[in-house]
């Protein structure tokens, strides 16, 4: 096959690439950038295939659509020679004693609804922020290496981003399945870009790097002498803490049991007898990260820093959300949803999903004061909303609408 001229390989040196990254990554608030040679056999690729075979993808059918392409970025991009992998913090870990329901699952009836939203989703959408930073960085690299071709994506690209991030030296893979950096924790978004760079000095394809090419200053990391897959040791805190038993040592995460799937991805509803497990969690779930000692250490380290490198303001809590209450979310219509949540991660839940989640939280936190709004939702045209509202009324001991 002849390569398109625009994707002709460009030979460069890892040290030169690292130098360019150090020049440009800081002002774009990218914390980690690494590279992995392509094509490569993924050391844990079989975990992914087995995950699909075992039907642990929880109805997220897009993941099963073209598994070979997910395992090998060169199937869709035959010209690609190196995958650049990016990490950007959205939080500095989770401190010991974090009481947000998103981090504990506990009902905490008086907590604001925003504390029930996973940390990654409290500000702007990373698909805009991180992707924008990646594109800018790649544009600057193209200034140095004209002819650079790169297709950046975060989340939506058909790449096993965590596995590639591990291969590119960004951290290790935890039993909670997250990519964990020893000093930054796992509160990191990941992104990847197949490129036509041929980088001399990288480990052989499929061999993990011990360090990324760029690492944010100000966070000391004791890199292992040789790359390890996992640094969990004998810890099982995440498996023990998961309220739905979604994590399995050997088989990974069962998406059908994960609160993150229920509250973000599913359009319908979790089974009646399981909704209690959602506790005080409204959108996303951080429990298996909040209990992780690596995140607690990351938070302690950040708190002790005089000048911590900044997490992008874009990911900070959006103050405008504080004006809304759980009751408002239960009453939210499509226009209100659009006005409030466009270009934020909550957009993914659709108005019906956010309403459903709010109804479940109201029931699980014993909010008898909200029965009027819940009864109104029980009369909704949307069958799932109505069914969940009826379930909520029953759980609150109100079988009859007031």
Nearest Cα to 26, choosing from 85, 89, 71, 72?
Answer: 89
Task: CB nearer to ligand B12: give 154 or 195.
Answer: 154
DSSP E strand stretches across 227-276: 247-248, 252-253
In this structure, what DSSP letter does residue 152 have?
-
Size of the site for ligand B12 (CB under 6 A): 43
Task: CB nearer to ligand B12: give 57 or 395.
Answer: 57
- In whole angstroms, the minimum distance from the beta carbon of 308 to ligand SF4 comes to 22
Could you confirm whether 155 is annotated as catalytic?
A: yes
Question: Does 236 contact ligand SF4 by CB under 6 A?
Answer: yes
Which of ligand SF4, ligand B12, none binds 236 (CB below 5-8 Å, type-dependent)? ligand SF4
Which tokens is 190 given? 């990941």
Angle at 16 between CA 13 and CA 18, to 5 degrees: 110
Question: Does 44 contact ligand B12 by CB under 6 A?
Answer: yes
Q: Which stretch binds ligand B12 (CB under 6 A): 11-19, 106-114, 284-292, 322-330?
A: 284-292
Q: Which secondary structure element, helix H or strand E, spans residue 35, and what is its range?
A: strand 32-37
Q: Which position's Cβ is nearest ligand B12? A: 284
Instruction: Give the HSE-up count for residue 179: Cα atoms under 13 Å, Cβ half-sphere.
Output: 22
- In whole angstroms, the minimum distance from the beta carbon of 129 to ligand SF4 comes to 22
Size of the site for ligand SF4 (CB under 6 A): 23
Say what the alpha-carbon torsion angle 380, 243, 245, 232 is, to the nearest 10 degrees: 140
Question: Does 238 contact ligand SF4 by CB under 6 A?
Answer: yes
Task: CB nearer to ligand B12: give 72 or 395.
Answer: 72
Which of ligand B12, ligand SF4, none binds 159 (CB below 5-8 Å, type-dependent)? ligand B12
**β-pair type (188-195, 82-89):** antiparallel
Per DSSP, the residues of 210-270 read: SS-SEE-TT------SS--S---TT--HHHHH-TT--EETTTEE-GGG-HHIIIII-SS--
Q: Which stretch binds ligand SF4 (CB under 6 A): 88-96, 127-135, 280-288, 363-371?
A: 280-288
- CB atoms under 10 Å from CB of 100, counted, come to 22
In this structure, what DSSP letter does residue 185 have?
B
Task: CB nearer to ligand SF4: give 22 or 223.
Answer: 223
DSSP E strand stretches across 201-347: 214-215, 247-248, 252-253
Which residues contribute to the site for ligand B12 (CB under 6 A)? 42, 44-45, 47-48, 51, 60, 63, 118, 120, 154-155, 157, 159-163, 173, 175-179, 186, 188-191, 229-230, 252-253, 255, 258, 260-261, 264-265, 284-286, 288
Q: Which positions are annotated as active-site residues? A: 155
């Amino acid at each position: 096959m002849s390569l398109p001229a625009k994707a002709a390989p460009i030979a460069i040196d890892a040290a030169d690439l690292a130098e360019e990254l150090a020049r440009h990554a800081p002002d774009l608030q990218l914390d980690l950038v690494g590279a992995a040679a392509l094509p490569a056999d993924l050391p844990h690729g079989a975990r992914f295939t087995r995950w699909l075979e075992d039907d642990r993808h929880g109805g997220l059918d897009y993941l099963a659509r073209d598994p070979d392409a997910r395992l090998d970025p060169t199937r869709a991009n035959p010209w690609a020679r190196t995958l650049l992998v990016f990490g950007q913090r959205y939080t500095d870990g989770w401190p010991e004693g974090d009481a947000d329901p998103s981090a504990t699952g506990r009902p905490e009836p008086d907590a604001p609804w925003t504390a029930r939203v996973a940390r990654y989703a409290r500000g702007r959408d990373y698909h805009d922020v991180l992707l924008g930073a990646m594109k800018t960085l790649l544009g600057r690299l193209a200034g140095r290496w004209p002819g650079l071709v790169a297709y950046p994506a975060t989340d939506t690209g058909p790449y096993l981003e965590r596995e590639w991030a591990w291969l590119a030296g960004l951290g290790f893979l935890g039993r909670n399945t997250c990519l964990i950096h020893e000093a930054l924790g796992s509160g990191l978004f990941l992104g990847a870009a197949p490129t036509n760079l041929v980088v001399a000095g990288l480990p052989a394809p499929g061999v993990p790097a011990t360090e990324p090419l760029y690492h944010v200053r100000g966070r000391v990391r004791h890199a292992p002498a040789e790359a390890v897959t996992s640094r969990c040791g004998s810890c099982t805190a995440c498996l023990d803490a998961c309220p739905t038993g979604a994590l399995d040592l050997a088989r990974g995460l069962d998406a059908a049991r994960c609160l993150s799937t229920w509250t973000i991805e599913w359009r319908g509803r979790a089974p009646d007898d399981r909704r209690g497990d959602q506790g005080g969690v409204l959108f996303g779930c951080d429990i298996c990260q909040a209990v992780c000692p690596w995140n607690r250490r990351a938070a302690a380290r950040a708190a002790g820093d005089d000048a911590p490198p900044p997490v992008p303001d874009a990911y900070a809590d959006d103050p405008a959300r504080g004006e809304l209450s759980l009751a408002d979310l239960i009453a939210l219509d499509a226009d209100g949803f659009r006005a409030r949540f466009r270009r934020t991660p909550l957009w993914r839940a659709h108005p019906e999903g956010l309403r459903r989640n709010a109804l479940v939280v109201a029931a699980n936190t014993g909010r008898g004061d909200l029965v009027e709004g819940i009864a109104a939702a029980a009369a909704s045209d949307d069958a799932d909303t109505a069914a969940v509202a009826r379930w909520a009324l029953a759980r609150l001991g109100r079988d009859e609408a007031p």
